[in-house]
Every structure is written in C-alpha cells, then in structure tokens.
Amino acid sequence: MHLPAVLHLLLCVTLSEAADWCYTGCDHTPTHWSDIPGTTCGGQRQSPVDIVSARVETSDKLHNFTFSNFSSGTVLKTLLNNGHTVKCLLQQEQVEVWGGGLNGSYSSPQFHLHWGDSQLHPGSEHTLDGHRFPMEMHIVSLKKGVMAEQAVKDPEGIAVLGFFINVGNKALQVEREAPAEGELQLN
C-alpha cells in the first residue's frame, strides 16, 4: 500500500456532517457508513483503514510535506465539538500544504480530531497493525484552484493527512477544562 493511497482513503467520514456514526455498537458502523446521507463512503477508498506495516511500500518519490502558516495564531476561525470530533475551521486560503507526493499545492480549510471515550468511539479512526490510538488528527486540504464540489469527484482534488496521537496526563487536563460539546468562535 502506497502512502498517497492511504491519504485518499481517509476522506470518507471527513466529508460527513453526520454525528450518528460509530465504530461498533450502533446502526452506522463502518460497513454502513455509505448509508449516512451526505457521505462519499462505500467505494474503493473506504475508511477506516488498518495500515499493515509489513505491507507498506516505501517510495523514493515521496519527500517531506511543506506546511505553510499552520503555526499562525490568526488562522483558527471556529472550533466545533460534537462529542466525538473537534473540527477546527481555518481562515480561507491562509493555510497550505504541498510536497510529500501531492500533485500541487493544497489549501487547508479545516482539521479535525477524533478521540476515544467509549466503546462506540474508541479512539483513532484508523489503526496501525490493528492498534487503535487514543486520538487521530486529519488535516483536510483542497487542491488549489479546485472548488469543493469538483474536488470530491477528482482523485487528486482532496488530500487528507492523518496523524496518530498518543495522549498523556497533561493533555487530559486540557480536555477537562474544554467545553464538552458546542461551538467556540475565535477572533
């Protein structure tokens, strides 16, 4: 499995605004995500993915990603918390990523975090050798010059970069201080 294929596989649930999905124990488990209105799940690029490290192939064509403006204190616009995902909306056309095997520059309108708090949402969306991490971040990026409606239909229109995150005690303290659900506007 090549890294670009994995990145494109992360797209499915990212595009859904539905809050009634889960990994186990509800009507909308991964095999039924294609039934959720507004999703693009169910095709060849289905989430979630178990990355089997023994099958991963390296490529000398893949280089480092370049992230532009991700550390700016002024690009974060809105935080949305639905209880199992926090979506961070970014200022339009302010944050970009390129390189790493991407074909061009991509603008990042949002990133979001998945974490575990129950059996229905046990942590990361994807797994590595069957291991689910406590948290996963997805940076969702649209190819520059391509509208969102076109990007969904273009195999290179959307790039979703996924990062597994281990959680320590200090991060748990921050989580307790944050609101459980809702929206937070940032100026």
pLDDT tens readout for residues 106-163: 999 999 998 876 666 678 888 999 998 988 999 999 999 999 899 988 989 999 999 9
Q: Give the number of domains in the chain.
A: 1
Beta-bridge partner residues of 68: 96
Residues 63-81: tens digit of each pLDDT: 999 999 999 989 999 999 8
**Which residues, 6+ apart, have CB-to-CB distance to 48 below 8 Å?**
13, 23, 30, 125, 126, 127
Nearest to 33 by CA among 13, 15, 62: 13
Tokens 């790039």 found at: 159
- Among 84, 114, 121, 126, which one carries the catalytic annotation? 84
**Structural domain boundaries enclosing 27:** 3-185
Least confident of 23-37, 50-64, 76-90: 23-37
84 is catalytic: yes
CATH of the domain at 40: 3.10.200.10
Spatial contact of 120 and 24, defined as CB atoms under 8 Å apart:
yes
What lies within 8 Å, CB to CB, of 145 at 6+ separation is none
